[in-house]
Amino acid sequence: MNKRRFSIIINTTIALAVVACSDAPKSAGAAATPFRVALLTPGPVSDHSWNAGAYEGLLRIRDSLGAAISNIETKTPADFEDNFRQYGAQAYRLVFGHGFEFQDAARRVAPDYPNTDFVTTSGNTTGPNLAGLEFDLANPSYLAGMIAGAMTRTGVIGVIGGTELPPVRKSFVAFEQGARRANPHVRVLTSYIGNWDDVSAGREQALAQIARGADVIFQNADAAGLGVFQAARQSAHVYVFGSNSNQNDVAPDVTLGSVVIDLPHAFLTVAREVKDGTFRGRVISLGMTDDVVSLVLNPAMTSRIPAPVLTTVDSVRAQMLRGAFSAVDTLAPVAP
C-alpha cells in the first residue's frame, strides 16, 4: 500500500517536472532586445553602499538607454569566470564586474567573446573589449585638502586608508597638495588600516593620529572608516572628511564633507559609450569634469569654515571644471 502510494506520488511529480521543463523555450538565448547589460557584484545589492550604487547604475542604464538588464551576486573566483562566460555566450553587449577582484576572470574570458565588452570597476587590466573603470578622486580631494589646511589649528592633518590601492593613494597625494596650498607648513600623517571592514582598527588608527596632533582627518576606508568618525567624535576639535559615498550624515557633528563617487552616473557614462560604439578597451578614468566625482560639503558644518576659505575653494573648483587647473594626478608624494 505504502509503496504504491509512494510510486504514485513519484510518478506525478516526475510528470509535473517534465511538463514544467519541456514547455520552456530557451528564452535566455533568443531574446530580441538589442542592448543587454549585466552586472556581477561581489556582495548583495542591498548593502546601501558599494554594490547598491552599482545596481542603481544598472537600473539607470535600463531606464535611460532602454537596456535589458541582469545582475548576479558572485562569491568566488570560479563564479566570476563562469558568469562572465554565461553572459558572453548569451551575447550581452556590456558586462560589469564590480571590483578589482573580477579582472583576472575578465581577462581570461574577454578574448572568447569579442562582441561583448567587459568592464571591471577599479581594475587596471585592459584588452580590445576589456576596460578598467577608475575614479579620479584627485580634484575633489585637493579641494578637501585646501579646507583641511586652512582649518587645522595644530598644523598636523591625517589621511587614513583601507589598503594602499592606487586610487586611494592618488587621492591622498592630492589632498596633501591642497592642504599645502592653504598652509605650506602643514604636516600630513598617513596610515593604512590593512582592510576595509575592521571598524575598531580604523578607530585605533584615528586615535593614534589624533594623539600625534592631527585635527583634520581624511579617510577612505569604507566600513572601517566608521571607526574614524567614532574617534573624532570622542576627541575635541577634530574634523573628518569622508570618501566614496556621502558620509556627511554618519557623524554630522564632526564631518566637514565627503568626496563622493556617483557610481550610477559612471555606469551610465560607460554604457552610453558602448551603445554609441565609441567604447575602447582602456582604463576609463572618470572624475570631477565628468560629473562623476565631487566634494559635497556638510551643510550642518559649513558655518564653521571661514568664508574666505569657501570662496577660494569655489573659485578653484570653477577653474577645475573649466579645465584651467587640475590637481597633479600622481602616486608620488608631494615634495615638501
Partner 1 sequence: MATTARRADRWAGVVSFLDSPWAAPAVVLVVLATGAALLAAWYGVSAVSAFWFGSIGSWYGFTSGTLVRAVPLILTGLGVAIAFRAGVFNIGADGQLLAGATAAAYVGLEWSAALGHASLPAALILGTAAGALWAGVAALLRARFGVLEVISTLMLNFVATDLVAFLVRGPLQEPLHIYPQSATLPSVARLPTFGPTTQLHWGLALALVLAGAVWWFLARTAAGFRLRIVGANPFAAAVTGRVRVTRVAAWAFLASGALAGLAGAIEITAVTYALYDNLSPGYGFTAIAVAVLAGLNPVGVVFAGVLFAALETGATAMQRDAGVPSVWASVVEAALILILVAGASIRARAGNRHLRDAAS
CB 326 → partner 1: shortest distance, Å?
24
Under rule CB under 8 A, how many of the chain's residues touch partner 1? 44
Q: Does 2 contact partner 1 by CB under 8 A? A: yes
List of E strands, 76-220: 94-97, 117-121, 130-135, 156-161, 187-192, 216-220
At 113 the three-state DSSP class reads coil
Nearer residue to partner 1 within complex by CB, 31 or 300 = 31
Q: How many CB atoms lie within 10 A of CB 25?
A: 8
Amino acid at 193: I
Q: Does 70 contact partner 1 by CB under 8 A? A: yes
* CA–CA distances in Å: residue 128 to residues 109, 112, 133, 155, 277: 12, 12, 15, 48, 13
Which of 28, 91, 283, 328 contacts partner 1 by CB under 8 A? 28
CB 20 → partner 1: shortest distance, Å?
5
Binders of partner 1 among residues 227 to 286 (CB under 8 A) are: none
| Structural contact between residues 37 and 63, judged by C-beta atoms closer than 8 angstroms | no
Query: Among 198, 192, 253, 249, which residue's Cα sits nearest to residue 218?
Result: 192
Binders of partner 1 among residues 77 to 96 (CB under 8 A) are: 77-79, 81-83, 85-87, 89-90
Q: Does 8 contact partner 1 by CB under 8 A? A: no
Place of cell 562582441: 115
Nearer residue to partner 1 within complex by CB, 20 or 211 = 20
Q: Does 9 contact partner 1 by CB under 8 A? A: yes
Binders of partner 1 among residues 158 to 177 (CB under 8 A) are: 163-166
How far, in Å, CA of 8 to CA of 259, rounded?
65
* CA–CA distances in Å: residue 101 to residues 80, 87, 133, 166, 331: 9, 18, 13, 15, 21
| Structural contact between residues 259 and 141, judged by C-beta atoms closer than 8 angstroms | yes
Query: Among 161, 184, 157, which residue's Cα sits nearest to residue 171?
Result: 161
Nearer residue to partner 1 within complex by CB, 48 or 108 = 108
Which of 47, 56, 101, 204 contacts partner 1 by CB under 8 A? 101
Q: Does 100 contact partner 1 by CB under 8 A? A: yes
Nearer residue to partner 1 within complex by CB, 11 or 315 = 11
CB 27 → partner 1: shortest distance, Å?
5
Q: Tell me which residues touch partner 1 (CB under 8 A).
A: 1-3, 6, 9-10, 13-14, 16-17, 20-21, 23-28, 38, 70, 72-79, 81-83, 85-87, 89-90, 100-101, 104, 163-166, 194
